[in-house]
Chains A and B, each alone.
Chain A
């Protein structure tokens, strides 16, 4: 089955700096890679996703890059704000018309220091 590794497990940055979280996946057939943000006591919230036919996607301060050859993808948050503090999860899945079963990384606790 798919295995997703996520690094770092904790990340502290100063407000206004950039944050980068990296994930690797094992199944070369995976073709969908979402990122979720989870605040304490809440469910994961989708913040951005990318499909394997795209190398980079950007949405305001958030961007995701995908390297299919190396089987890794990264989340970039620029101009970080205190409200960006949360746990971030990457995930990978194979979609073949059947279940889009997400395999998640173990999460990164991001702390933005004011």
Chain B
């Protein structure tokens, strides 16, 4: 068990460009969450998957954001036409959910996005 991994760790882009982040959850974890964290604040929920199905999206997830988890393993988060307000740390978390389980979320190291 190597923990949740995210790639890249840092991304600098120019306004208007598209960016894509990847998250690899802990093996066997069926739930995967994306959060966004701005400086000095706690993480804010964006969206979550159970296996390959995207079951919930936050109002924070504008139509420029899209997330996928095609085979129920790794996930990607794409931001199109980036804006300076998108600058933040994007965190991925995974958990194992089953009836009676704890569904504890374990976070990755995050991808820090800077939009110039």
Contacts and interface: CB of A to CB of B under 8 A. Distances in A.
Query: Do A and B originate from a single complex?
Result: yes
A98 B57 CA distance: 12
Interface string A61-98: 00000000000000000000000000001010001011
Contacts of B99: 97
Interface residues of B, number: 27
A106 B40 CA distance: 7
B42 interface: yes
Interface of B: 4, 6, 31, 33, 35, 40-45, 48, 55-56, 91, 95, 97, 99, 102-110
A57 interface: no
Contacts, number: 63
B43 A99 contact: no
Contacts of B109: 41-43
Contact of B108 (A4, A43, A97, A106): A43
A46 interface: yes
